Structure 1
Amino acid sequence: MVRKVVVLTKIREIEESVGLIEENLPESFGEFSELGLIRDGMYKRLEFAVENVYDICSILNSDLNLGVPGSDGEVLENLLRSGIIDEDTFKKIKAMRGFRNIVVRRYGKIDDRITFRILQEHLSDFREFTEKIKAILDSLNDEEQDQGMQPSG
C-alpha cells in the first residue's frame, strides 16, 4: 500500500515551489543576476523541489517493496528496473540531484548564468515527473480496487 496522501502532499509542494520560481523568473539573465534575495529564494525552492522528488522516489521504493537501497542512486535504479520510471525520467532525476548538490554545497561559486539557463529549460522536468507519479498513483488505485473486488478463496 503506497502512502498516497504523503506523495500527493509532496507533489503539491513541488508544484508550489516550481510555480514560485516561474512567477519570479525574469526573461533575461541581466535581470536574474540582479535579483539578490529573490534569486537566493529560487535556489532554496529548487533545492526543496528536488528533495521532494527524491522523497517521493524513496516512498515508492519502500512502499512497493522494490528492495533495500544503499543510496539514492539505488532507489532510482530500483524504480527504473521495476518500470515505475523510464530511462528518460531516471536521467532527469539524477541531473536534478547533481544540480541540487552544487546549489546546497556551493562547490565553488554558483554560476548564475548556467543556473538561469537550467531554470529556463528544465523546470518542466518537475511537471513531467509529477504527472508521471500521479498516473502511477491512479494505476495503483485501480489495481487495489480490482484486488478488492476479487472473491476470497
Structure 2
Amino acid sequence: MSSDNVGLNKAAIIERCIRRMREEYGADSTLSVPTHLDALVLNIERACQAAIDLAMHIVSKEHLGMPQSSAEAFKLLQKAGKLDGPLAVRLSGMTGFRNIAIHQYQDIDLDIIHWIMAEGWLDLVAFCEALELRIKP
C-alpha cells in the first residue's frame, strides 16, 4: 500500500464501520441484544482506530510533530490548520472511548453509545471531509 493510498483505505474503513454501526443500531436501538451491542461497539472501535491511524499517518507524513498519545495527533492536526478546534477536541475524546471499549467493555456507558449513534458518528464524517476524503456512510 503506497503512502497515498493510506488515507483512502482508512477512510474506506471508517465508511464501512459507520454503515455497520447504523445497521446494528437500527436493528436494536435499545441496546438490549448482546449480539447487536457487541457488533456495534466493535465497529465503533474499528472506526475510532482507523481515524487514529489516519491522524497519525498525516502527522508523520507532513512532519507535524511527535504525538505522545493518540489524542495528541488530533491536536497536532488542529495546530496545523487541518481540523477546527471543537472537532479536534471531540476526536481526542473519542480516543478515550476507544480505550474503554478495548480494555473495560463491561463499563461502557450505554448513554455514550446512544450519543455516538445520534450525532457522534458525524465527527468521523467531518474528520474525513476536513482531510478531503469523502465518505458516504
Match of 1:68 among 66, 69, 72: 66
Q: For the Cα contact (< 8 Å) 1:66–1:82, is it kept in 2?
A: yes
- Partner residue of 1:24? 24
- Percent of pairs with identical residues: 27
Return the index of the structure with the highest Cα Rg: 1
Verify: 1:58 aligned to 2:56, yes or no. yes
Q: For the Cα contact (< 8 Å) 1:29–1:113, is it kept in 2?
A: no
Aligned length: 132
- Partner residue of 1:134? 132
Q: For the Cα contact (< 8 Å) 1:17–1:46, is it kept in 2?
A: yes
Unpaired segments of 5 or more residues in structure 1? 136-153
User: What's the CA shift string for 1:4-26, capped at 9, x where partnerless?
Assistant: 21111010000000011112213
1:46 deviates by 0.5
5 Å-filtered alignment, 1:72-151, equals 72-106=70-104, 109-134=107-132
1:111 deviates by 2.5
Alignment RMSD: 2.2
Range 50-59 or range 2-11, more displaced: 2-11
One-letter code of the match for 2:17? S
Unpaired segments of 5 or more residues in structure 2? none
SS of the residue corresponding to residue 65 of structure 1 reads coil
Determine the C-alpha separation between the residues in 1 that align with 2:108 and 2:71.
24
Q: 1:134 to 1:99 in 2, by over 3 A?
A: same
Determine the C-alpha separation between the residues in 2 that align with 1:68 and 1:112.
34
Determine the C-alpha separation between the residues in 1 that align with 2:126 and 2:27.
22
Q: Provide TM-score, normalisation by structure 1.
A: 0.76
SS of the residue corresponding to residue 25 of structure 1 reads helix
